Every structure is written in structure tokens, then in C-alpha cells.
């Protein structure tokens, strides 16, 4: 019987160390309380990148087969803006200010007035109607379908709103 060559053994030990040792170390750090769990610290970039990639992939999958039934008329977008301001702006902010979800939630609630999402209406609808696990984005299953589609269509079109709706979105809030 021939002993395995060093060129095979060393990479195999490194591979097994990475597959076994790294997760064990992360687990030990977690149960020892050495990983941050507060909602006010800034998440590490790697954590945000992994979370965003996973969220977008999940929303794409959940949105497959959905079709936005709205034409996206000015009236529908204005109705979506009204629903957004009454239901969503508290966490997600509006054009002129951050919502309270900017600092008080972990993961942070995206601030759509400052950074409009690149999600489709269908992906936004999936998030609105069914929520996002491990976040403060709850499922709005009792929201009427038309309202959910109007707000989803509005949010998905934030980068390209028609002039009248854009003017209402960017108007200074009344004191």
C-alpha cells in the first residue's frame, strides 16, 4: 500500500480545516457572546453583502409567476404613494427624511427616498405581502391586493415616476 503524497495530504488537511474548523470557531464565538447582537451597531460589509444577495435571490424566486396587474397610471402611482406614506414611510422614510427604521432596526430598513430599490414590482409585492424573514418587514397579508400592488408599483418606479407623482413625492412635508 502506498502512502498518499504530500501534494494530496496538505491540501486535504487545509480543506477539512476550512470546512470543519471555521464553522466550529464561528459557532464558539457566537455562543460565547462575542459576536455583536445589538441593533444599533453598523453591520459589517460582508454581512450586508451576503444578506442583500440572499434577499434579492429569494425575492426573485418568490416573484416568479407573479405579474403586476396595474398599468402604472398616474392615479395608481399616486394611490401607491398615499399607501406608502401611511404604511411604509415610518420605517423606509420618504424623499426628505429617514424613517425610524434607519437606525433602530437590524437589519436596517432600506431608505427608499435616499436610495430607491432596484426591485421589480413583483419582487416588491412579494416583500410587502409576505414579509422578509429575520427582519422587521412583516407580512401584510391583510392589506387589500389592490393596495399592495399599488404600493409595490410605486416603489418599483421611484427612479422613473411621472412628473405629477414625482412632484408629490419630492414635495416638502407640511409642518
- Looking at domain 45-170, its CATH architecture is Orthogonal Bundle (1.10)
- In the chain, residues under CATH classification 1.10.760 are 45-170
How does residue 172 score in pLDDT terms, banded at 50, 70 and 90? confident
For 97-115, how does the pLDDT look when each residue is reduced to its tens digit (9 = 90+)?
887 777 778 888 899 999 9
Reduced 3-state DSSP string for the chain: CCCCCHHHHHHHHHHHHHHHHHHHHHHHHHHCCCCCCCCCCCCCHHHHHHHHHHHHHHHHHHHCCCCCCCCCCHHHHHHHHHHHHHHCHHHHCCCCCCCCHHHHCCCCCCCCCCCCCCCCHHHHHHHHHHCCCCCCCCCCCCCCHHHHHHHHHHHHCHHHCCHHHHHHHHCCCCC
For 128-150, how does the pLDDT look when each residue is reduced to its tens digit (9 = 90+)?
999 999 888 999 999 999 999 99
How does residue 82 score in pLDDT terms, banded at 50, 70 and 90? very high
Amino acid at each position: 500500500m502506498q502512502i498518499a503524497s504530500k501534494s494530496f495530504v496538505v491540501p486535504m488537511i487545509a480543506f477539512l480545516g476550512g470546512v470543519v474548523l471555521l464553522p466550529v470557531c464561528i459557532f464558539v464565538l457566537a455562543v460565547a457572546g462575542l459576536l455583536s447582537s445589538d441593533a444599533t451597531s453598523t453591520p459589517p460589509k460582508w454581512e450586508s453583502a451576503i444578506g442583500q444577495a440572499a434577499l434579492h435571490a429569494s425575492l426573485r424566486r418568490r416573484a416568479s409567476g407573479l405579474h403586476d396587474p396595474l398599468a402604472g397610471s398616474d392615479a395608481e402611482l399616486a394611490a401607491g404613494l398615499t399607501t406608502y406614506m401611511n404604511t411604509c414611510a415610518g420605517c423606509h422614510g420618504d424623499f426628505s427624511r429617514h424613517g425610524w427604521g434607519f437606525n433602530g432596526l437590524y437589519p436596517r430598513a432600506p431608505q427608499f427616498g435616499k436610495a430607491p430599490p432596484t426591485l421589480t414590482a413583483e419582487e416588491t409585492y412579494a416583500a410587502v405581502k409576505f414579509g422578509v424573514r429575520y427582519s422587521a418587514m412583516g407580512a401584510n397579508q391583510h392589506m387589500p391586493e389592490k393596495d399592495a400592488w399599488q404600493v409595490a408599483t410605486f416603489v418599483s418606479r421611484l427612479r422613473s415616476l411621472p412628473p405629477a407623482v414625482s412632484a408629490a413625492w419630492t414635495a416638502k412635508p407640511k409642518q
